Amino acid sequence: MEKKFKEVQPCGMLYSHGREYFLLRPSPEESKQSWETWRWLVVPNKVVGVLPYDLSNSYYSYKRHIVTNSFTVEFMEGLPKIIILVADEYDLSEMEA
């Protein structure tokens, strides 16, 4: 299965429980888990590969939501766009448990 990629514009960084994430939206999503948690749309700040058609560009994992009650948000202007995997390309039903 061929991987697909997408370019996204982070608006800052989110730090939670020793992990770093690119923040994709400047405010949290509504969280139904608890009044003490927030749900953020993020991409982990960890390169997972280089583009097969452009070896000078690396890419990151797919976007996802994290739900947390302990975080620091740093909003930044001028962050460069990043390239991420498109998650719906993968059929998780084929993966072993």
Residue boundaries of the structural domains of the chain:
5-88
User: In sequence order, what are the residues at sequence separation of 6 or more whose Cβ sits closer than 8 angstroms to the Cβ of residue 3?
Assistant: 52, 85, 86, 89
Burial of 46 from C-beta contacts in 10 A (0-12 / 13-18 / 19+) = exposed
The pLDDT tens digits of the residues spanning 32-90 come to: 666 688 899 999 999 999 988 887 889 999 999 999 989 999 999 999 999 999 976 45
Task: Kindly report the number of other CB atoms within 10 A of residue 14's CB atom.
Answer: 25
Q: pTM of the full predicted structure?
A: 0.81
